[in-house]
Amino acid sequence: MSSYVATQQGLAGLELMAKIREFERRMPLLSEEGLIRGSTHPSLGMEAVAVGVSLALTEDDAIASNHRGHAHTLAKGADFGRTMAEILGRSDGYCGGKGGSMHIGVKEIGVLGTNGIVGAGIGIATGAALAAKQKGDGTVAVSYFGDGASNQGVLAEAFNLTAIWRLPVVFVLENNHYAQSASIEEMIAQTDLSQRGEAYGVPSVNVDGMDLQAVFEAAEAGVARARAGEGPSFLVCDTYRYLGHMAGDTEIYRNAAEVEAAKTKDPIANLLARLIEQGVITQEEWDTTTARIFEEVEAAEQFARNSPFPNPTEAFTDVYSKGARA
Ligand SMILES: Cc1ncc(C[n+]2csc(CCOP(=O)(O)OP(=O)(O)O)c2C)c(N)n1
């Protein structure tokens, strides 16, 4: 197995994870300040999944995300300032501030949208994969969803259709062990979720979702399979969210010791340690990098804060497709 992380690409992955974490760390603070309307769901701890999968994709590939979708969007190549502006409901956001945290679409880089309806992205990615196959354009679609969403019926239908039609899609389940306040043990009797894909003829693997290299390698294999016309695959990524389900969550359903135990597998700290050990970077160089990352994310936040709110007269522009019938 190639040591992917001991390369400049591995370093780029580490930097992107750290930058996404710095972005997400600010979400509860912005929420408390009243700058985010509605709820927002940070993904601290889960960065290796979004970044590892994105490293296996091209700009033309599509992703369908979920309510916890900032990392998926940023890892796919979205600008941090415009993403932050969208979350703050400002006119420089990707959807002019009308979408917010759970409806960020960036068509030019294949982000088909974050999505507030649990499980909806599964059907959207399936549709994108069907379109890719019909057009023969060689692109792949990825669906990101959680352990809770895996209980939605749409997943069974999507597994079956994509398997018989051999559609180019990679289903990526981020198993962070909770759906809001319900633990996976409370929700699901068969906790080896990969069996769900296998039951439909979708090759399925359990992946260490805290390890960038493991996620990248599994995603690369799934993407290669999809591009070769062999159909779907299913990655069950074991991960953990460090913060509450959303800003303001009192977290009475889990204890602090469990959260601390999960942090020992931290994707950023562990990859950094490996890269230092392999001589790719020194601690001093990383300190300089994190200071730069802080400044870049600070600039993104200031850009968003300074962006105007959308003009109310434009409330209905870009809401319907020009081709749509009345
Ligand atoms: C169809 C639907 N049902 C319920 C909700 C409320 N809800 C929002 S997030 C969430 C939990 C989803 O858990 P999971 O899919 O595991 O993703 P995670 O939040 O853990 O990333 C629920 C129940 C919703 N938004 N949509």
pTM of the model: 0.96
Residue nearest to atom 12 of ligand 1 (CA): 179
| Average pLDDT score over residue span 268-277 | 95
- Structure tokens belonging to residue 111: 């982000």
pLDDT at residue 3 is higher than 60? no
pLDDT at residue 319 is higher than 90? no
Is domain 8-251+266-306 given the CATH code 3.40.50.970 in the classification? Answer: yes
Model pLDDT, residue 323 = 67
Evaluate whether 210 touches 270 at the Cβ level (below 8 Å). Answer: yes
CA dist 69 and 282 (Å) reads 31
> Tokens 């507030």 appear where?
116
Report how far ligand 1's centroid is from the alpha carbon of 262 (Å).
Answer: 21
The mean predicted confidence, pLDDT, of the chain is 95
Encode pLDDT of 239-257 as tens digits.
Answer: 999 999 998 899 999 999 9
| Average pLDDT score over residue span 160-185 | 98
Evaluate whether 95 touches 44 at the Cβ level (below 8 Å). Answer: no
Q: Which residue has the higher pLDDT, 5 or 270?
A: 270
Encode pLDDT of 278-298 as tens digits.
Answer: 899 999 999 999 999 999 999
pLDDT at residue 6 is higher than 70? no
Cβ neighbours of residue 141 closer than 8 Å, sequence gap 6 or more: 61, 62, 63, 64, 112, 125, 126, 128, 129, 132, 167, 168, 169, 170
- Ligand 1 pocket test, candidate residues 118, 143, 176, most atoms within 8 A of CB: 118
> For 179, phi and psi rounded to 5 degrees?
-115, 105
| Average pLDDT score over residue span 51-68 | 97
Report how far ligand 1's centroid is from the alpha carbon of 150 (Å).
Answer: 10
pLDDT band, residue 31 (cuts 50/70/90): very high
Residue nearest to atom 20 of ligand 1 (CA): 179
pLDDT band, residue 150 (cuts 50/70/90): very high
CA dist 111 and 69 (Å) reads 10
Helices (H), the chain: 8-25, 27-32, 47-54, 70-75, 80-87, 120-135, 153-164, 184-187, 194-198, 212-227, 256-263, 267-277, 283-306
Report how far ligand 1's centroid is from the alpha carbon of 221 (Å).
Answer: 28
- Side-chain-side CA neighbours of residue 147 (13 Å): 26
Model pLDDT, residue 51 = 97
Closest CA to 53 of 269, 206, 223, 262: 223
Model pLDDT, residue 247 = 84
Report how far ligand 1's centroid is from the alpha carbon of 199 (Å).
Answer: 24
pLDDT at residue 324 is higher than 60? no
Residue nearest to atom 2 of ligand 1 (CA): 118
Pocket of ligand 1 (CB under 6 A): 67-68, 116-118, 145-149, 176, 178-180, 245
Report how far ligand 1's centroid is from the alpha carbon of 179 (Å).
Answer: 6
Ligand 1 nearest atom to the CA of residue 118, by list position: 26
pLDDT at residue 2 is higher than 80? no
Encode pLDDT of 92-112 as tens digits.
Answer: 999 999 999 999 999 999 999
Encode pLDDT of 110-129 as tens digits.
Answer: 999 999 999 999 999 999 99
pLDDT at residue 1 is higher than 50? no
Q: Which residue has the higher pLDDT, 318 or 21?
A: 21
Cβ neighbours of residue 249 closer than 8 Å, sequence gap 6 or more: 181, 243
Encode pLDDT of 218-239 as tens digits.
Answer: 999 999 999 999 999 999 999 9
Report how far ligand 1's centroid is from the alpha carbon of 117 (Å).
Answer: 7
Evaluate whether 202 touches 4 at the Cβ level (below 8 Å). Answer: no
pLDDT at residue 33 is higher than 80? yes
pLDDT band, residue 4 (cuts 50/70/90): low
| Average pLDDT score over residue span 25-45 | 96
DSSP-based helix, strand, coil % in the chain, nearest 5 = 45, 10, 45
> Tokens 């390698």 appear where?
217
